[in-house]
Amino acid sequence: MSEKKVIFSGAQPSGKMTLGNYLGAIKNWTKLQDEYECLFSVVDLHAITVPQEPKVLRENAKKLLAQYIACGLDPEKNIIFIQSHVKEHLELMWVLNTMTYMGELNRMTQFKDKARKSEANLNAGLFTYPVLMAADILLYQTDLVPVGDDQKQHLELARDLANRFNNRYSDTFKIPEGYYPKEAARVMSLQDPTKKMSKSDENVNGFILLEDDPDTIRRKIKKCVTDSEGVVRYSPEQPGIKNLLDIYSALSGKSIDEIVKMYEGKGYGEFKADTAEVIISVLEPMRQKYLALLEDKEYLEKIYCEGAKKAEAKARKTLRKVYKKVGFLERKY
């Protein structure tokens, strides 16, 4: 296990994961667990940069943990844990804060976007959370980080901070690289296929949740925005159909060309109906497992407690080195 490269990733506990989250991230995570040493975190510390209802946040953390497992992340092969249960994340963040320049954080496009959208909640956590993200990554001597386009800046900051610390104090951190899976699907909104599928979409028909039941999925796909051409083909001029073809292909394993040939001379109605059934064939077993896991609170507690212990053991080794190198007096108790 120790010879394997280390991968770290995580997601915020919003309580709702979409088909886009699954195809864009988690489906690919499940393919990594045999080849790499993987740590997957429920990043609840990041979640409180926006106001949260405490009871809801706790429930959402359990829900995300259950969805991780239901989607195929094996607790026997991976370290799955709750971020706030490993205090070393915050301790390393403080050290890295003292080495992060204001100009670097000012350049973060996500901060600029969030600042525009939520001026009333412009807190220091929104400004510095990329440093916490860097701590998440560097704490575990991570080799590879699965990242999307919107996270590349944050990974670059983690790399810069690792190099800065190593240059100042001697080699301590691995320099993480981005992991860009070839098969990561970019799933678009069912109501506006020019935009990425998001659970924050005001139109609930724009996204499919992993916890949607079969009838809900059929209804959303039936209402999916297409076009007036009436021909199933993979064309940027038909973004709605193109999006459904991407989903169909990612979930069925069939190539785009193969699917297009299957629907030659057939209308959108049949194609949409079949696409819905392909989605249901994958999501429904996961939904049933997810619901069963939510009922087994003892099992979920066992998983996140064991995961935190394993993560903490690794994190403590790194932090001990960091504290020694920056000059903190060693604890003797």
From the candidates 16, 199, 310, 321, which is the catalytic residue? 199
Give the chain's length.
333
Cα dihedral value 189, 191, 194, 196, nearest 10: -20
Contact 207, 201 (CB under 8 A): yes
206 by Cβ neighbours in 10 Å (0-12 / 13-18 / 19+) ranks as buried
Instruction: Return the closest-CA partner of residue 307 out of 72, 69, 41.
Output: 41
From the candidates 63, 114, 242, 272, which is the catalytic residue? 114
Q: Give the integer Cα–Cα distance in Å for 6 and 199.
A: 30
Q: Give the integer Cα–Cα distance in Å for 181 and 285.
A: 25
Query: Which amino acid makes up residue 317?
Result: K
Q: How far is CA 217 from the centre of its chain?
A: 22
Contact 43, 136 (CB under 8 A): yes
From the candidates 62, 63, 174, 196, which is the catalytic residue? 196
Q: Which two tokens stand for residue 262?
A: 């299957």
Task: For the chain, count helices (H), then strands (E).
Answer: 14, 5
Q: Give the integer Cα–Cα distance in Å for 291 and 66.
A: 8
196 tagged catalytic: yes
317 tagged catalytic: no
Query: From the CB of residue 297, how many other CB atoms can be counted at a distance below 10 Å?
Result: 11
Q: Which residue has the tokens 């506006």?
A: 192
Q: Which two tokens stand for residue 64?
A: 């995300």
State the catalytic residues. 114, 196, 199
